Amino acid sequence: MSIVVTRIDERLIHGQVAYSWSVAYQVTEFIVIDDRVATDPTQHLLLSLAVPSGKRHAILSVEDAVKYLVEQSDQEKTFIVVKSPRVLLSLIEKGIILPSINVGGMYYKVGKQEISKTVYLDEEDKSIFLKIRDHGIPCEIRTSPNDKSIDLFTKI
């Protein structure tokens, strides 16, 4: 398995993710992991339309993603995208090795505190990120591949 980018972005696949990140990291497949989206045919269609031509993609539940990632070929350069750090912690706890996590878009909601221009966290989010840190996985804030990387843990 060759995971080249793991990103948290509430918008999942969109222009910036689909093009700038896939070019910068030579991504060959996109994996959206979200239990709710995995069962929504409309979301499948919309997300599929955002995937660049010639790139593979899958929209999976957490359980299906674990099976897929364990069986995945090393030839693919995989971009994982999720809406929440909770999904990534679940993957990690199920044995999936993530080299690093990019936090790009966790937007304002009541009770969330601004950490950066595009990242807002509540106490639960912070707690989950600290558990991820306990697994030795670095987390960065970076909206696009050309932005300066900011260590998320220095902000929480």
Q: Which residues are catalytic?
A: 14
Q: How many Cβ atoms from other residues are within 10 Å of residue 45's Cβ?
A: 9
Contact 26, 75 (CB under 8 A): no
The span from the CA of 118 to the CA of 134, in Å, is 24
Angle between helices 62-71 and 85-93 (to 10 degrees): 50
Tokens of 103: 């936090």
The span from the CA of 129 to the CA of 135, in Å, is 10
Tokens of 117: 């221009």
